[in-house]
Structure 1
């Protein structure tokens, strides 16, 4: 950490915010004054407090709202208003969850929530049940819990939800209740759910891509359906390690030149913040291939992979194929011993295939 930097601040999942809002709404429904602050218990047992931003609604259907604080994580839901509305149900109904405006509905199998259910994941549901039970003298109440997210449908356009079959808004997520800065846990969870959906549809060939250009390229190359496309972004490890435990017959990894170079060098997180590609290691691929010391030296001294690739292209050297081959070795190493047939495609920024292994 740099001398003048500060520790990154943790935040709260949408599930934690929904739980706090639900508890506040339940208290109002049962005659308490609108609370300014409530405590909830996270899955690991920690007690944490949440400020209640606003309350309102009818006496028999009050709502409470919490502003999502993602800490220093680059989370699209940071600052979103999470609302819970509570209504009583007849005895014996238990707690029933509904999707309000901005919360999606599951439309395809393979997710941890059944088709037709609101996209409120199992851990947030359990947290809400526990919070309402605690607030109801230890007895699980009979209540309808409606979770809404202001502007959630628009925010969902920037997620992978539609590809997963979650339509109409965001998912209420979280397994720990805490957002660890720059863990991008929501993205990794979306990767895992994408694999689950594809497996539920019995797809035999998936493609994990680092970005839009490489995703379009691999889809066109193999004529794959949208549900076979896993937008892994920088999180190659998040995809490969999950597939090792939940295999499919075939996997293609598709990406740009720089990110596939890093994958070939063993990086599981391909973001530039996690470190640059090793140019000397890239130059060693050239020496191992044909022993061209001049080109190898030029590549070793190049400041970026893009410039190194340009030098190689000018000499007609197949650097993209060497990058693909080294990336494929990493893919195989991580997937082992899962019986998955794997290949790697490398695309330039214009979408041209420049490497394949």
Structure 2
């Protein structure tokens, strides 16, 4: 597979989505089904004038079927599907049926409403389906086919890889989703995670849930479960992307949102940061000290917090002094959240925990 180029600001290498790989595999397989020859490498056309070529990892031509597979290259992005073998098996369909999609081994099936695909459909997202239809039509026009085909997409070890994604929580069973809106993986854009947050909200709304929780990690998720008894599909693995949760809920509200996380990440949210990753925002000791000062904390405590090594260190100093820093951080985080929601009909509460999972602040 040819390199996708490098992102100008970081020098990191782009990669290709599972949708792009599935499109290329389908293009090669359908070409072979009509002509008896697999194009290798196989070239596809993607949005924004990108025309990558992919080397075939496997190819198999049978009497009435052709299969091609491509190894996914995610570039320099830490993508769970990097190196996965994405294959397409193409057979002729009935006259006038167009492109019919099937989930092969390692590709999931939709079992819950709220996703952009009906229940029972293979988890091949709308844009990859569009790419595949367009390329099937192009091959049919060039090689004399009808364009009526059955396309079965598979991902080697996809069921195991899917356990490391949101798919089980979203009700996608049996494997991975075939994703991608442009075909390109931008390094460290985390676009698939943010898209999963949005789909998680969609699924919760479709299930009729009145209360969802955005959690920064597994410990805060456990605490929220214990506090509120929320079902799994009402829990959003927010990670560092508080802004993604809040902005999507602004447009697609749920009556109640709980934001839960550690003191450090929620201190950043209290300061107005919407991306809580350590590489993109930092806890401000001065901001924490200002909270303590405004709450009437003594000068020595204010100075102790200002020079604290971590947010947890500041919290422990305040606990000894009897000042509720966790509550102050929770209140600030809630204020930020309400500001992003801009009056959307969403009630917000915030739960702050320490590393052991003890609740140290609420608002």
TM-score, with length taken from structure 2: 0.94
Name the structure 2 match of 1:356.
362
Q: How many Å apart are 1:39 and its aligned residue?
A: 1.3
Name the structure 2 match of 1:246.
252
Gaps of 5+ in 2: 1-8
* CA–CA separation in structure 2 for the residues paired with 1:116 and 1:9: 36
Per-residue CA deviations over 1:225-279 (Å, capped at 9, x if unaligned) read 1111111111111111111111111111111111101111111111111132111
Per-residue CA deviations over 1:97-124 (Å, capped at 9, x if unaligned) read 0000000000000000100000000000
Q: 1:7 aligns with which of 7, 11, 35?
A: 11
Q: How many Å apart are 1:57 and its aligned residue?
A: 4.7
* CA–CA separation in structure 1 for the residues paired with 2:116 and 2:43: 27
Aligned residues: 353
Q: 2:119 aligns with which of 112, 115, 120?
A: 115
Q: How many Å apart are 1:292 and its aligned residue?
A: 2.0
* CA–CA separation in structure 2 for the residues paired with 1:140 and 1:88: 9
> 2:276 aligned with 1:288, yes or no?
no
1:82-231, aligned counterparts within 5 Å?
Answer: 82-137=86-141, 141-231=147-237
Gaps of 5+ in 1: none
Moved >4 Å (runs of 4+): none
* CA–CA separation in structure 2 for the residues paired with 1:6 and 1:322: 37
Per-residue CA deviations over 1:150-183 (Å, capped at 9, x if unaligned) read 0000000011111100000000011111111111
1:7-26, aligned counterparts within 5 Å?
Answer: 7-26=11-30
197-206 vs 133-142, greater mean Cα deviation = 133-142
* CA–CA separation in structure 2 for the residues paired with 1:173 and 1:190: 11
* CA–CA separation in structure 2 for the residues paired with 1:312 and 1:63: 64
Name the structure 2 match of 1:71.
75
CA RMSD of aligned residues (A): 1.4
Q: How many Å apart are 1:10 and its aligned residue?
A: 1.0
Q: 1:309 aligns with which of 309, 315, 318?
A: 315
| Alpha-carbon contact 2:107-2:153 (below 8 Å) kept | yes
| Alpha-carbon contact 2:18-2:180 (below 8 Å) kept | yes
Per-residue CA deviations over 1:205-225 (Å, capped at 9, x if unaligned) read 111100000011011101111
* CA–CA separation in structure 1 for the residues paired with 2:297 and 2:65: 75
* CA–CA separation in structure 2 for the residues paired with 1:184 and 1:6: 15
> 2:352 aligned with 1:343, yes or no?
no
